Amino acid sequence: MKTEELTDPALALDDLAWRLFHDEDEVRTLEPVALSRGCRCDPDYVKSVIARFPLEEREAMVGDDGFIRVDCAFCATDFPIALEDVA
């Protein structure tokens, strides 16, 4: 392939893949998926996970501020959960 082909915005990705890999036995492409910014973490889901722990363990999770603190490992959002909210 030439540089012009690799950087041609009008060349569809399937065509680009075919030109690069048509010697291969099999080439698969998937439907494009739109990217979006953000995290799918959800306070209600976090509460439902905490609610599955036995009461004794939930009580042990409560911190000095009176809340169970859960933070999302992806976006670092902090979810303070009151013990009575997951009873």
Q: Which is nearer to Zn ion, 11 or 80 (CB)?
A: 80
No. of H helices and E strands in the chain?
4, 2
Cβ nearer to Zn ion, comparing 9 with 38: 38
Cβ 17 to Zn ion shortest distance, Å:
33
Residues 6+ apart with CB under 8 A from 74: 39, 41
How is residue 64 written in tokens? 């000095």
- Using the minimum distance from each CB to Zn ion, give the nearer residue, 61 or 72: 72
Contacts with Zn ion by CB under 5 A lie at 39, 41, 72, 74-75, 77
